Amino acid sequence: MVSETTILPTGRAARRDGEGAEAGSRRQVRPATEGWTQQLASDGRPALQFASPRRKQPETHLADLSPAERKAKVEELGLPGFRAKQLSTHYFTHCTTDAAAMTDLPASGREELVSALLPPLLTEVRRLRTDDGRTIKFLWRLFDGALVESVLMRYPGRITLCISSQAGCGMNCPFCATGQAGLTRNLSAAEIVDQVVAANKAIADGELGHSRGGEPERVHNIVFMGMGEPLANYKRLMSAIRTLLAPQPDGLGMSARGITVSSVGLVPAIRKLADESIPLTFALSLHAPDDGLRDELIPVNSRWKVDEALDAAHYYFEKTGRRVSIEYALIKDMNDHGWRADLLAQKLNERGRGWVHVNPIPLNPTPGSIWTASERDVTDEFVRRLEAAGIATTLRDTRGKEIDGACGQLAAAE
Ligand code: SAH
């Protein structure tokens, strides 16, 4: 039941948006005309789940705690505080939770220490490979049966891990498989960190193949582009990030620039993130420069509009000096019109120069979805218009489509 409506240039407001003669000839597909029904909450606004339906979190793990809290916990168990650092070295540096391997810890009390501070968090359900073994998707089961995925990708000169911040997602975006499944619960800080430790272990075990020189490798870049809206799980996200950044052995010693937090546009949380003054990379999932379409495409636009989201993204740049990314999934005849590229460029340029770059990405198919990626020439034209307006633009290469591991495809089913 695919129907179409054609946008007719309807007066000055539309023309000011750059909607020209082309608008009459190009179709305008909208979620609502394609059989997508916006779920509404009792207040009549689009349904969004900000609160986690399941409150219960897993047992506290080393990676949920600060170094001082770890020391206190070890002392509570009747052991000297410095054992916390030894345990951290095993976990963060050697990726091990196997008590038998921790021979620098006294045998008596070792098992107790490990079971108290390193409870198993992720149970592997499945591992799928593609791209000649350069992409691996992991499916994990959590203590309560919830499922999450992470995707490990080798690129020339770097290894990137796409991780989940929630089991499911409450943001309800119609083109995203995770968004359509709803929110199960927030991940704990340690469940977030453990995805990285598990990936480092897989790399050390040779699962991604070996580097040219054969030197040991680890995850370099992390993108919070797996399941979930990271800024809807703010406290645990920040706790996990602090541990990822902490120098070894207190954490993974990663660089803030190598960590990308991607958000659908929770404006107050974007500003809060900016005020943390950590030079993380921030990405905003915009997908439409006009509220008319974004209201339908991104339900959270009912709370914070395009201009508010862009102002918050610009604030992020001002506070951190980090260039912001704008994510834009190109959906055929939905958001890929030339006038939208022009309007996007105009809105970005109005706020300054050099503060932002755009990452268009052809839509990845999701199960049962009626929408498809934009045609090649339309994609090229969209990129050309942005570049002509002076906006740095990189068409994103998408990995893992064959194993449903690409952006928007993570549904975590067994
Ligand atoms: N909740 C975060 C992370 C989501 S996933 C956010 O909204 O940013 C990371 C990116 O993949 C987001 O930009 C998201 O909009 C995009 N995405 C979702 N479904 C997609 C699909 N089917 N094809 C391409 N990108 C998609």
The SS3 assignment for 283 reads strand
Please check whether residue 391 is in contact with residue 349, taking contact to mean a CB–CB distance below 8 angstroms. yes
Indicate if 149 belongs to the active site: yes
Indicate if ligand 1 lies below 6 Å from the C-beta of 225: yes
Element (H, E) at 192: helix 189-204
Low-confidence stretches of the chain (pLDDT beneath 70): 1-25
pLDDT of residue 367: 78
Question: Which residue has a Cα nearest atom 13 of ligand 1?
Answer: 285
CA of residue 223 to ligand 1 center, whole Å: 11
* Rounded Cα distance, 228 and 211, in Å: 31
Residue 12 is predicted with a pLDDT of 32
Atom of ligand 1 minimally distant from the CA of 363: 23
Using the mean position of ligand 1's atoms as its centre, give its distance from the Cα of residue 229 in Å. Answer: 10
Cβ of 404 less than 6 Å from ligand 1: no
Beta pairing, strands 158-162 & 147-155: antiparallel
Given the residues 162, 169, 176, 407, the one annotated as active site = 407
Convert the pLDDT of each residue in 72-115 to its tens digit: 999 999 999 999 999 999 999 999 999 999 999 999 889 999 99
Look at residue 64 in the predicted model and tell me its pLDDT.
98
Check residue 401 and give its pLDDT.
81
pLDDT digits 0-9 by tens, 393-404: 999 877 888 878
pLDDT (0 to 100) of residue 206? 94
Q: Which of 19, 95, 149, 327 is catalytic?
A: 149
Assigned token pair, 275 = 């005020």
In the chain the first and final C-alpha atoms are separated, in Å, by: 30
Q: What is the pLDDT of residue 180?
A: 84
**Active site (annotated) includes residue 375:** no
Distance 225 CA to ligand 1 centre (A): 7
175 lines ligand 1 (CB under 6 A): yes
According to DSSP, the residues that pair with 268 across neighbouring strands are none
For 387, other C-beta atoms within 10 Å of its C-beta total: 14
Taking CA atoms only, the protein residue closest to ligand 1 atom 11 is 407
